[in-house]
Amino acid sequence: MRKKKMIAMLLAGGQGSRLGVLTKSMAKPAVPFGGKYRIIDFPLSNCVNSDIDTVGVLTQYEPLALNAYLGSGQPWDLDRMNGGVFVLPPYVSGSEGQWYSGTANAVCQNIPFIDQYDPEYVLILSGDHIYKMDYAKMLRAHEENGADATIAVLTVPMEEASRFGIMNTDENGRITEFEEKPKVPKSNKASMGIYIFNWRILRPYLLDDDADKASSHDFGKNIIPKLLSSGAALYAYGFEGYWKDVGTIRSLWEANMDLLGAEPEFRLADKEWRIYSKSPAMPPHYIGGEAEVKNSLVSEGCVVYGKVEKSVLFTGAHIGKAAVIRDSIIMPNAVIGEGATIEKAIIGEGSAIGANAHVGAERLPEDGEYNTALTGDITLVANSVNVPEGKRIPVGKIVE
Amino acid sequence: MENAFGLIYTGDASMQLRELTYSRSVAAVPFGGRYRTIDFMLSNLVNSGIYNVGVIAQKNYHSLMDHLESGKEWDLHRKRDGLFVLPPFVTHDNTGVYRGTVDAIRSCLGYVRRSAQDYVVLMGSHTIYNTTFNDMISKHIASGADITIMYSRDDEVDRKNQYDDLRLKFDEDGRVTDLALNPASAETPYRSCDAFIMEKTTLEYLVEDAYSHARYDFTNDVLVRNVHQLDIRGYEFTGYVARLNSINDYYRHNMALLDKAVSKELFSHDHPIYTKIKDEFPASYVGDGCAVNSVVADGCVIEGYVKNCVLFRGVHISPGARVTDCILMQGATVGEGSVLDSVILDKSVTVNKGRNISGHRTYPVILRKGTVV
Give the closest residue to B232 by CA, choosing from B167, B137, B145, B321.
B145
Output the CATH code of domain B4-266: 3.90.550.10
Give the closest residue to B84 by CA, choosing from B102, B118, B60, B107.
B107
pLDDT at B74: 92
Q: How confident is the model at residue A286 (pLDDT cuts 50, 70, 90)?
A: very high
Specify the 3-state DSSP secondary structure of B327: strand
Altogether, the residues listed in chain B come to a count of 373
In whole angstroms, what is the distance from residue A83 CA to residue A66 CA? Answer: 19
In angstroms, the Cα distances linking A37 to A24, A275, A276, A310 are 19, 8, 8, 18
**Mean predicted lDDT score pLDDT of chain A:** 91
ipTM above 0.95?
no
Tell me, which fold does domain B284-367 have in CATH?
UDP N-Acetylglucosamine Acyltransferase; domain 1 (2.160.10)
Q: Do the chains contact at A284 and B290, CB–CB below 8 Å?
A: no
pLDDT at A196: 97
Q: How confident is the model at residue B92 (pLDDT cuts 50, 70, 90)?
A: low
Comparing B4-266 with B284-367, is the CATH topology the same? no
Q: Do the chains contact at B290 and A282, CB–CB below 8 Å?
A: no
B1-40 pLDDT per residue, tens = 789 999 999 877 666 788 888 888 888 899 999 999 999 9
Q: What are phi and psi of B140, to 5 degrees?
A: -60, -45
Question: Between A283, A284, A297, which is nearest B284 by CB?
Answer: A297
Contacts of B296 in chain A (CB under 8 A): 284-287, 298
| Residue B134: pLDDT over 90 | yes
In whole angstroms, what is the distance from residue A153 CA to residue B160 CA? Answer: 69
Among A37, A256, A265, A293, the strongest candidate for a mutation testing the B interface, having the largest count of B CBs within 10 A, is A293
Contacts of A74 in chain B (CB under 8 A): 72
| Residue A29: pLDDT over 80 | yes
Q: Do the chains contact at A299 and B282, CB–CB below 8 Å?
A: yes
Residue A367 distance to chain B (closest CA, Å): 36
Residue B281 distance to chain A (closest CA, Å): 6
Mean pLDDT to the nearest integer, A274-287:
93
Best mean pLDDT range from A273-282, A306-315, A358-367: A306-315
Query: Which DSSP state fits A284?
Result: P
Q: Do the chains contact at A268 and B297, CB–CB below 8 Å?
A: no
Q: How confident is the model at residue A94 (pLDDT cuts 50, 70, 90)?
A: low
In whole angstroms, what is the distance from residue B197 CA to residue A126 CA? Answer: 53
Among A42, A298, A329, the strongest candidate for a mutation testing the B interface, having the largest count of B CBs within 10 A, is A298
Q: How confident is the model at residue B265 (pLDDT cuts 50, 70, 90)?
A: very high
Residue type, B120: V
Residue B291 distance to chain A (closest CA, Å): 7
| Residue B215: pLDDT over 80 | yes
Q: Do the chains contact at A286 and B285, CB–CB below 8 Å?
A: no
Mean pLDDT to the nearest integer, A158-166:
87
**What is the pTM assigned to this prediction?**
0.90
| Residue B266: pLDDT over 90 | yes
In angstroms, the Cα distances linking A113 to A83, A87, A149, A198, B225 are 11, 11, 20, 16, 67
pLDDT at A260: 94
Residues 6+ apart with CB under 8 A from A337: A320, A323, A352, A353, A354, A355, A356, A357, A389
B297-334 pLDDT per residue, tens = 999 999 999 999 999 999 999 999 999 999 999 999 99
Domain ranges in chain B are: 4-266, 284-367
| Residue B90: pLDDT over 70 | no
- Decide: B10 and B21 in contact? Cβ < 8 Å: no
Mean pLDDT to the nearest integer, A91-109:
82
